[in-house]
């Protein structure tokens, strides 16, 4: 068994699950709330490969595609939203340039925009846990009017579609009505594409 200890104490170890497949276990001895941005990035680098392998395990095409889309965040952030997980948002070509303006009013995302958001968490023992992959897809007017014409979905860490209610996701996202239901990454972590 190989393990790697990184300066501040992230450990990446190859361990074997019930299926016999190897997966990485990343751990840290820094409490979740005390992690610096650099440490969060290091944890992300440790877990990223396994996150993506899990999401694609059941053949979801969007899960295979999103790593090549544009990223909207510099550091996995968003603790406090989506179950206190660390979040990284990606947007497909159709919507990327509009999304990264991070406008706070009059936002209309183009039909065909797909947004994917990876998540992971660090538990009390310092073990890094994979979280769901969340999606929002913009559909044509009339297809999902009651939810701002967004279709919400999510995959479990091992790639299985989650049973979710559109209303559950929309009830919170509707708070961002002026932003076409978009919550955006925390301001400090937004990628800078446009100067304003």
Interface residues toward ligand HEC, by CB under 6 A = 77-78, 81-82, 87, 89, 115, 117, 134-136, 152-154, 164, 168-169, 172-173, 182-186
Query: Would you say 55 or 135 has its CB closer to ligand HEC?
Result: 135
> CB of residue 12 vs ligand HEC: minimum separation in angstroms?
25
Choose among 79, 116, 82, 111: nearest CA to 95: 111
Query: Would you say 16 or 168 has its CB closer to ligand HEC?
Result: 168
> CB of residue 190 vs ligand HEC: minimum separation in angstroms?
9
Query: Would you say 128 or 133 has its CB closer to ligand HEC?
Result: 133
> CB of residue 32 vs ligand HEC: minimum separation in angstroms?
16
> How many CA atoms lie less than 13 Å away from 94 in the CB half-sphere?
14
How many other C-beta atoms can be found within 10 angstroms of the C-beta atom of residue 50?
A: 19
Query: Would you say 131 or 185 has its CB closer to ligand HEC?
Result: 185
DSSP tag of 143: S
Looking up tokens 């303006």, which residue turns up?
Answer: 101
> CB of residue 131 vs ligand HEC: minimum separation in angstroms?
12
How many other C-beta atoms can be found within 10 angstroms of the C-beta atom of residue 136?
A: 27
How many other C-beta atoms can be found within 10 angstroms of the C-beta atom of residue 46?
A: 22
Query: Would you say 25 or 186 has its CB closer to ligand HEC?
Result: 186
Do residues 116 and 133 touch, judged by C-beta distance below 8 A? yes
> CB of residue 5 vs ligand HEC: minimum separation in angstroms?
29
> How many CA atoms lie less than 13 Å away from 65 in the CB half-sphere?
10
> CB of residue 183 vs ligand HEC: minimum separation in angstroms?
2
The CA distance from 66 to 153, in Å, is 14
Query: Would you say 24 or 76 has its CB closer to ligand HEC?
Result: 76
Tokens of 169: 């996701």
DSSP tag of 110: P
The β-bridge partners of 100 are none
């Amino acid at each position: 068994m190989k393990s790697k200890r990184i300066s501040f104490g992230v450990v990446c170890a190859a361990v074997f699950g019930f299926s016999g497949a190897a997966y990485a276990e990343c751990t840290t001895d820094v409490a979740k709330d005390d992690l610096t941005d650099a440490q969060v990035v290091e944890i992300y680098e440790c877990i990223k490969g396994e996150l993506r392998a899990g999401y694609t395990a059941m053949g979801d095409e969007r899960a295979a595609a999103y790593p090549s889309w544009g990223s909207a965040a510099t550091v996995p952030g968003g603790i406090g939203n989506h179950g206190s997980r660390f979040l990284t948002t990606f947007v497909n070509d159709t919507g990327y340039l509009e999304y990264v303006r991070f406008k706070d009013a009059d936002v209309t995302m183009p039909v065909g925009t797909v947004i994917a958001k990876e998540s992971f968490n660090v538990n009390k023992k310092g073990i890094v846990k994979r979280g769901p992959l969340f999606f929002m897809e913009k559909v044509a007017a009339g297809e999902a009017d009651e939810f701002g014409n967004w279709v919400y979905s999510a995959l479990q860490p091992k790639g299985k579609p989650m049973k979710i209610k559109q209303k559950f996701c929309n009830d919170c996202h509707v708070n961002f009505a002026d932003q076409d239901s978009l919550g955006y990454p925390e301001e400090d972590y937004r990628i800078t594409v446009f100067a304003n």
